[in-house]
Amino acid sequence: CIRFILIQNRAGKTRLAKWYMQFDDDEKQKLIEEVHAVVTVRDAKHTNFVEFRNFKIIYRRYAGLYFCICVDVTDNNLAYLEGIHNFVEVLNEYFHNVCELDLVFNFYKVYTVVDEMFLAGEIRETSQTKVLKQLLMLQSLE
Amino acid sequence: LSCCWLIHRHSDKPAKMPAVSKGDGMRGLAVFISDIRNCKSKEAEIKRINKELANIRSKFKGDKALDGYSKKKYVCKLLFIFLLGHDIDFGHMEAVNLLSSNKYTEKQIGYLFISVLVNSNSELIRLINNAIKNDLSSRNPTFMCLALHCIANVGSREMAEAFASEIPRILVAGDTMDSVKQSAALCLLRLYKTSPDLVLMGEWTSRVVHLLNDQHMGVVTAAISLITCLSQKNPDEFKTCVSLAVSRLSRIVSSASTDLQDYTYYFVPAPWLSCKLLRLLQCYPPPEDGAVKGRLVECLETILNKAQEPPKSKKVQHSNAKNAILFEAISLIIHYDSEPNLLVRACNQLGQFLQHRETNLRYLALESMCTLASSEFSHEAVKTHIETVINALKTERDVSVRQRAADLLYAMCDRSNAKQIVAEMLSYLETADYSIREEMVLKVAILAEKYAVDYSWYVDTILNLIRIAGDYVSEEVWYRVIQIVINRDDVQGYAAKTVFEALQAPACHENMVKVGGYILGEFGNLIAGDPRSSPLVQFNLLHSKFHLCSVPTRALLLSAYIKFINLFPETKATIQEVLRCDSQIRNSDVELQQRAVEYLKLSSIASTDVLATVLEEMPPFPERESSILAKLKKKKGPGAVSVTELEDSKREGGELNGGGDRGPDTASTPSPSADLLGIRSAAPVGAAPASAGSLLVDVFSEAGDISSLTNPLIPLPCRFVCKNNGVLFENQLLQIGIKSEYRQNLGRMYLFYGNKTSVQFASFTTTVSCPGELQSHILSMHLLEPLVEGGAQIQQVLNIECLTDFSDAPLLNIKFRYGGALQNLTLKLPVTINKFFQPTEMTSSDFFQRWKQLSQPQQEAQKIFKANHSMDTEVLKAKLLGLGTALLDNVDPNPENYVCAGVIQTKGQQVGCLLRLEPNAQAQMYRLTLRCSKDSVSRRLCELLAEQF
């Protein structure tokens, strides 16, 4: 299952950190830095997977942003890789062509998108139509 | 750069203005974020933040009541500041207030703040829980989801206590909305993972399984994660899920790519759900029902067939989604390991991927093939890809892919290809990344040993290893080559000649000096006939390395020298000269000095006969599992030993040191010498004549581990029958404290290990086992989480489930090194049957009515015994309460007597127990009577309690 989700830019700024495991604040900071260090040195010829402590990171780069999901070593790499893409496509629809700034200014909405699609470290909903419908409904609420 | 679109799907649209101008949401927040982004320096940022914090603080403290919108905006700003990495020490109350707002956006910000900044402030938790409770019962699906997400995100014990019984109800209620069901399922999963003892199985469990049939695919997707987790812990209770999962899978796999509409992803029907279904099936053995099994095999075949069809899209998303299912299906095929046809097909499919242009696929194929190599059905098929894999090892750009290739070569190695594989791995080692060298070295060493038919090849390989990667050759590796040389006299001369040649190199690795010193000390005589390697030449060669070596190596060399004196009397004078010189005999290192002094004395006073006896050739080592294999397993961690290695040692265990060919028919016979866990003590038992001790100790620093051979079982202090907390064990080094709590048939024990010394304990490991029968009576005695260092005390959590009544106690084994010596102790854990008591209050008439009902002779156990402890009323009462039963007043007509009642909760049944204790103060005696609905429980409780009073 998912241990955490991180969205970072190339400079290492965190755009989203979602934790599904108990870590204290120092540990979180350390993880964020370590993930940035292992992911940014890799190029397009490398796999989208990196061993990470006792886990593995499945990541994918979109423009200047790295979307990283830390999962157990026995988890299905490709399912989570496409889980990331599915999530990014939802963000893209929701923010009408998503860019990094959207995530900065609407950080509190991004959490809602995450919770619709991933919960308790598991995949909750995979249908883009269903997620977007729900997000639009929430958007319309006061 | 940060306005770059992440993906291009609507590229006809104009470039966007930053979201600040969008106008929805909170303008003040957007302005603040812009300000922060425009700060030129860290100082400016901090200044701006402090200004904002002061502003918010004054708003919160102001006389004017804030409206919901402002409160939301300020709380959201605080959250933003926190996410920038600053501490936030106020605003929690305002966030909690937002929870009771009727407006979604305000509530959402409140919940988000709580989820991100969880605070264990108990006052606050109570308020939060109250708000959650209101939202859960609001019947408003949006609010219910917010509340459930908050519980799922925080997952604290307090929340579990408050909601663990409510959420299953929401999950299975007929009128719950689909989206709420999805959230409830995963919320429950989170609570089950953090507080399994609080989530009680019940009537809802069977209904949860049927969610696999739900019309809404999203509900199935969420529920299946919960079902998988529950199945892993309670396989029997959930086994009906197998046939349901198979039929669901079959419907998805056979559907056309458009059938599932919303759940079709790049022409692949429900890829994530398919993966989850295939994963659930991996919790179980192959279905017994022929029809179900047939249907499943059909699904797996269809998935394999689809992999061969032309792709419906060129997009990588399409192939990734399709292959995600394929790899999960292959995992299931490997898990079953019973369908030769499917295994071979899987192998062929992976073989195609080995040459795919996508690095991801090559990597995954190598990884997956590794497990296929361990199946007897597909081992040969995997071997056919050896050239491709060797090529991958040489040419892949990504080190992690090369690592997988090395793993696969290791897994596919057998007698037929060992020489080729070992040679390739050795040549790869020369350029291998530092991060994987040590593991590579171990693998080469293991393969060389396992498949050595001709031991000169083995010796060459290990010496090559030392030459190429000496720094990465651990003690285990060079100890092992020495053991093997000592045990096989056909290779001793060759080994002596080879090390002699290797030592000629001007710069040879210290490990080479160690092996060389040891082997020449034992078998130098075998090559001494050649004038080019005469005794003095050998000695001078060794001694030329002496001064560059570390203390342990020098100590080893000194031992080799004294052995030389015995082997070659003509070297005696030269060596005595060396021993006598100040740098030896007055060496500041005690060990070196002592050896020099003792060896010098020994060589001067002992007769040739005595010398020959003392310095006799080493006796053969007892055969046992290679210590290197154990090391490799240890390196990978107990949980991470791949199936390959387990299978491997199962198959190969019997021939670590020579032996017959492996045929497929011997594959499933585990050899007694294979220790699958690799934890067997490595101390050589009785191999060492005491007089030759010094040399032996060089090679077996563990020979000093006498304590590991005498491992007394420490009995359970009887006070823990009536107590849950306290110090369980203490000696000069270590204190072990426990705290435990029990609820129904579940228990949780916290173990605290305190180091009483100022020195760190090395390799501290603990294991819990249930000896003998107990295994079937107590379930999931597993230790949670790896040990965490915390000052001088570390803590460990143990979860316990009582399946049926039991009498033995589980064992806790602790191993660690203190000052080089292995400490090994085994304790009984205070898990006794009475821990699972639920007190039962009853009236006098009820009590005696039940007492009469339990009148069969075997239901009663009675004991009359002398008091061992104080007979004081208060002490007795405290003990009886600690027992876990209800102490009933005014029941027994004799006020001196005590009666108690309780129910023991096991997973399968409840056992009612009644107890009567009759003290006789005058005689200092007791009569104890127990009547239980199960006779074994009466007997066990009677035994336990008789020691308490």
Asked if the model's pLDDT at residue B54 lies above 60, the reply is yes
Tallying the residues shown for chain A, one arrives at: 142
B-chain CB neighbours of A99 within 8 Å are 2-6, 16
Residue type, B752: F
Beta pairing, strands B821-828 & B713-714: parallel
* Residue A49, number of CB atoms within 10 A of its CB: 25
Q: Which residues of B touch A127 (CB under 8 A)?
A: 217-218, 262-263
SS3 assignment, position B280: helix
Site of tokens 């995992």? B331
Q: Among residues 204-223 of chain B, which lie with CB inside 8 Å of chain A? A: 217-218, 221-222
Q: What residues of B are designated binding site?
A: 27-28, 59, 69, 73-77
The tokens for A135 are 């997000």
Tens-digit pLDDT profile for residues A74-111 = 999 999 999 999 999 999 999 999 999 999 999 999 99
Task: Residue B186: list chain A partners with CB under 8 A.
Answer: 119-120, 122, 124
For tokens 């859960």, what's the residue? B136
Taking only the tens place, the pLDDT of each residue in B411-446 is 999 999 999 999 999 999 988 888 888 889 989 999
Closest CA to B167 of B140, B185, B182, B179: B185
**Distance from A86 to chain B by nearest Cα, in Å?**
9
Write out pLDDT tens, residues B260-270: 889 999 999 99
With CB atoms and an 8 Å threshold, state whether A46 touches B359: yes
Whether B815 has a pLDDT exceeding 60, the answer reads yes
Q: How far apart are CA B410 and CA B203, in angstroms?
A: 49
Out of A17, A48, A76, the one facing B328 most closely (by C-beta) is: A76
- Decide if B6 and A73 are in contact by the 8 Å CB cutoff: no
A76–B400: do the CB atoms touch at under 8 Å?
Answer: no
Residue B764's contacts (CB-CB under 8 Å, 6 or more residues apart) are: B753, B787, B794, B814, B815, B816
In angstroms, the CA B868 to CA B164 distance is 44
DSSP secondary structure code for residue A99 in this structure: B
CA–CA distance, B885 with B9 (Å, rounded to integer)? 68
Q: Choose between B852 and B173: higher pLDDT.
A: B173
**Residue B856, both tokens:** 């069969």
Residue B515, burial from CB neighbour count under 10 angstroms (0-12, 13-18, 19+): buried
B461 to chain A, closest Cα gap in Å:
30
Residue A22: pLDDT over 90: no
pLDDT at B785 over 80: no
Cβ–Cβ under 8 Å, residues B112 and B99: no
ipTM for this prediction: 0.98
Dist CA A90 CA A88 (whole Å): 5
Say if the Cβ atoms of B33 and A115 lie within 8 Å.
Answer: no
**B37 Cβ under 8 Å from any chain A Cβ:** yes
Whether the CB of B327 is below 8 Å from some CB of chain A: the reply is yes
Q: Residue A100 and residue B6: Cβ atoms within 8 Å? A: yes
Any chain A CB within 8 A of the CB of B262?
A: yes
Which residue is closest to B78 within chain A, CA to CA?
A108
Mutation target among A82, A107, A135, A140 for the B interface, most CBs of B within 10 A: A82
Residue B109: count other Cβ atoms within 10 Å of its Cβ: 28
Closest chain B C-alpha to A62 CA, distance in angstroms: 5
Q: Rounded to an integer, what distance in angstroms lies between the CA atom of residue B707 and that of residue B814? A: 13
Of A9, A83, A119, the CB nearest to B186: A119
Number of inter-chain CB pairs under 8 A, A vs B? 200
* B907-925 pLDDT per residue, tens: 778 888 998 888 888 888 8
Residue labelled with tokens 């154990």: B630
Cβ(B900)–Cβ(B920) below 8 Å: no
| pLDDT of B863 above 90 | no
CA nearest to A141 within chain B = B104
- How far is A105 from A42, CA to CA, in rounded Å? 29
Q: Which helix (H) or strand (E) holds B673?
A: none
Of B896, B899, B892, the residue nearest B871 (C-alpha): B896
**How far from chain centre, in Å, is Cα B379?**
28
Spatial separation of the C-alpha atoms in residues B86 and B53, rounded to whole Å: 11
Partners of residue A132 in chain B, C-beta under 8 Å: none
Mean pLDDT within B693-713? 36
Backbone CA torsion sign across B645, B650, B652, B653: positive
Residue of A nearest to B113 (CA): A108
Q: What is the pLDDT of residue B494?
A: 95
What mean pLDDT is reported for chain B?
A: 83
State the amino acid at position B401 in one-letter form.
V
Residue A47 to residue B103, Cβ atoms within 8 A? no
Rounded to two decimals, what is the model's pTM? 0.70
Q: CB A123 to CB B182 under 8 A?
A: no
DSSP character string of B892-912: SSSTT-EEEEEEEE-SS-EEE
Closest partner residue to B6 (CB to CB) among A29, A49, A99 is: A99
Q: Mean pLDDT, to the nearest integer, of A13-39? A: 93
* B17 vs A: CB within 8 A: no
Largest CA distance in chain A: 47
The rounded distance, in Å, linking the Cα atoms of B272 and A125 is 9
